[in-house]
A and B are shown apart, each in its own frame.
Chain A
Amino acid sequence: MSRFARLKANWPGSDAPLRVLAASGQLGLGIPLKAFEAGVARAPHVIAADMGSIDPGPVYLGSGTMAAAPSMARRDLGLVLRAARDLDVPLLIGSAGTAGGASHLAAVKVILREVAAELGLSFTLATIAADVPKAMVQQASIEGRLTPIGPMHADIDASVAIVGQMGQRAFASALTGGADVILAGRACDTAPFAVVPVLLGYPKGPAVHMAKILECTSLCCEPGGRDAMLATLQGDGFTLESMAPNRAATPLSVAAHALYEQADPAHVFEPEGHVDLSAATYKALDPGRVHVTGAVWHPAQTPSVKIEGARLVGHRVVMMAAVSDPGFIAGSDAILQGVHAAVAELIPPTSAAPWDLSFRRYGIDGVMDWPTPPGVPPREVFILGECVAQDAETARAVAAAARQQLLHWGFAGRLCTGGNLAFPVTPPELDAGPAYAFSLYHILELDNWETLDALFPVTFSDIQEDIT
């Protein structure tokens, strides 16, 4: 009997307190130990963690690599695995290896097996893939079932990887199929936290609301942090508390966190429906704990999946230089335009060998395109040149040519004829490797639930103590 089956068989009902421990919102980037141990000491009925995000950009999805250092992923996986087996409770991990694609899932599974062997643990592991076939997206596009989220031009053919965010059904299927530990590919942040409460009969609105807040652990507290967070569900509500004593969950801090990274503050959409938070209430139980009620779940008639795709755009080289000359800073708009034109004359971009060169002037417009120039000119400006070309050699050549043009560019009133640039390092051009861009960030509508379930296949494997 699996850990979940035993939990379900013995569960008294949704009037009983159910404790969900959120170990990490970024498994693999270092779980703070003290708070996690405090959480484990509270005897949670389930441990869950999120391991991925789209925030770090398209490179991880496109290249199949993960943002976490493998050694830190190993440490964090060891912590949660040992705790879950010591407590004998299910462990659920979503969005394996940052982007949750096939190669990420495979890489994390290897680490998980190694850690289990080192710790001498046996359990049933379920992995859930989240890769979306290109043909399915193309068909959906033809049939008008593909909708961009915000300004995003779909480039299906050029996509090198496409993943979909699975909802609770895939996790539920793994749990009812006998999984003790679930390692999922790309998943809704909420799914690994919400699924056990929902399967045990707790209302879905509050369960998903709880999960939405819990998935970032103690970020919803005052002061926010990355320490483990505990949710206790009971009846139609739930109570939140940080496992770090200095982090207080307050009605305002928790209500504000429900807005975090959401374009729509009142609705959170998932494959199986959406949760409406507009009637949610937040009540302080004491200075550190908040009780939340009122979220309402609305099931969807047909499923829809948020999909993410990445394409290779070329090879990137960056160039770093800085300036203190006031004449150069004042004239930098025209200087940079002149440099770009001069480089294009030296290395003409063609349709067969295109390249793109841009400059960010930190101190002027490095962080954003301000509508007006700075009131007082900055004393120093850092210039980051970025070249993306079809191949590494062209990118290097363009960046080097731009650096040399900039260094010796003549401008009206120039005094600094020794050179215009202060280089912080040598060489000032750094190879940044293959460059990716998102090619899909869309809602994929599906006709039926069987198609949804088939998209996120569950694979069971027995992890044995003696495996080597």
Chain B
Amino acid sequence: MILSELARVVRSKNAGPTLLTIDVLFADQVDFERGKAALTARVVAARYGRVPDEVSIMAVASAHAVKIVLPRKVPAGAPGDKDVYGAQQHAPLLDVAV
């Protein structure tokens, strides 16, 4: 199974103009544990062409959520930025095997 089949929400958004945050929300505890195990810093970094040290991952059990934070390469809206709101940066995770 891949992440897009397991997760209920996979959303990306700026957390301010310098950071990107990706929230992966699951329907229940079982799915959450399964997704959490798959979404390691190494796996996420590879998907974005980053090094694992740049990736921060937090599990939030109350929301059945995994939060990923990445530094943006360019501050939001600066010349060369490709996604001002950071709302379309989730796609590389959708086919991660879970």
Binding site for B on A (CB under 8 A): 54-59, 148-152, 252, 255-256, 258-263, 265-266, 280-282, 313, 316, 356, 358, 360, 365-371, 386, 388, 435-438, 441
Contacts and interface: CB of A to CB of B under 8 A. Distances in A.
Given A367-B82, A370-B49, A386-B79, A255 B63 contact: yes
B16 A368 contact: no
B75 interface: yes
30 contacts: A55-B85, A56-B77, A57-B81, A58-B76, A58-B78, A149-B16, A150-B16, A150-B72, A151-B72, A151-B75, A252-B25, A255-B60, A255-B62, A256-B9, A258-B63, A259-B21, A261-B15, A263-B21, A265-B65, A282-B62, A358-B80, A365-B82, A366-B82, A368-B89, A370-B49, A370-B92, A386-B79, A435-B79, A437-B78, A438-B77
A185 B67 CA distance: 31
B76 to A, nearest CB: 5
A360 B81 CA distance: 10
Nearest to A58: B77
The 5 closest A-B pairs by CB, nearest first: A57-B77, A150-B18, A371-B49, A255-B63, A437-B78
B79 A265 contact: no
Contacts of B76: 54-55, 57-58, 438
A360 B79 CA distance: 12
B48 to A, nearest CB: 7
A259 B23 CA distance: 8
A34 B83 CA distance: 33
Contact of B19 (A263, A280, A366): A263
Nearest to B79: A388
A80 to B, nearest CB: 25
B77 A150 contact: no
A152 B17 CA distance: 9
Given A256-B63, A313-B78, 12 more contacts: A55-B14, A149-B16, A150-B16, A252-B63, A259-B67, A260-B13, A263-B19, A282-B62, A367-B88, A371-B48, A371-B49, A386-B80
Contacts of A256: 9, 23, 25, 63-65
A58 B79 contact: no
B78 A438 contact: yes
Nearest to B78: A437
Given A259-B23, A368-B89, A437 B16 contact: no
Given A368-B89, A369-B49, A262 B21 contact: yes
B64 A252 contact: yes
